[in-house]
């Protein structure tokens, strides 16, 4: 039987993995690189606590494409407006052609614009 404290730590970690949208492969890679363990069952309670705190400290990922759509709606931008901006600033016609960094930059640009 797993001690209550350990179960609580597992639950905290599971909540954070869901929030971060980490799958088992991503979590296993993290454990392997940081602790040289392939599963959390091999971690000590203190290590589990550190993992839980680390995961809590990570920012919640945002869906940049959804955020861009929301900002475009707020601004009253059309797909033509989007295409024009992307061609002028990134040399691309569609947001799907942008890198993650370019998507962040475009999203930030939209956030800084005043509503019509």
Residue 9: burial class (beta carbons within 10 Å; 0-12, 13-18, 19+):
buried
pLDDT at 116: 66
State which of 4-8, 68-72, 112-116 shows the largest mean pLDDT. 68-72
User: What is the pLDDT of the chain when averaged over all its residues?
Assistant: 92
What are the tokens at 5?
């404290």
- Asked whether residue 1 carries a pLDDT value surpassing 60, the answer given is no
Q: pLDDT tens digit string along 12-44?
A: 999 999 999 899 999 999 999 999 999 999 999
pLDDT at position 3, please?
54
pTM above 0.75, yes or no: no
Residue-level pLDDT at 59: 87
CA-based angle 26:106:100, to the nearest 5?
20
| Pair of tokens at residue 94 | 């569609």
């Amino acid at each position: 039987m797993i001690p209550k404290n350990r179960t609580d730590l597992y639950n905290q970690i599971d909540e954070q993995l869901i929030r971060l949208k980490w799958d088992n492969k991503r979590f296993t890679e993290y454990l392997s690189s940081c602790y040289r363990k392939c599963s959390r069952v091999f971690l000590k309670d203190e290590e589990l606590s550190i993992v839980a705190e680390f995961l809590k400290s990570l920012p919640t990922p945002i869906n940049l494409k959804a955020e861009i759509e929301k900002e475009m709606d707020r601004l009253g931008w059309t797909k033509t407006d989007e295409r024009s901006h992307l061609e002028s600033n990134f040399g691309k016609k569609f947001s799907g052609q942008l890198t993650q960094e370019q998507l962040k930059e475009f999203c930030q640009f939209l956030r800084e614009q005043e509503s019509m």
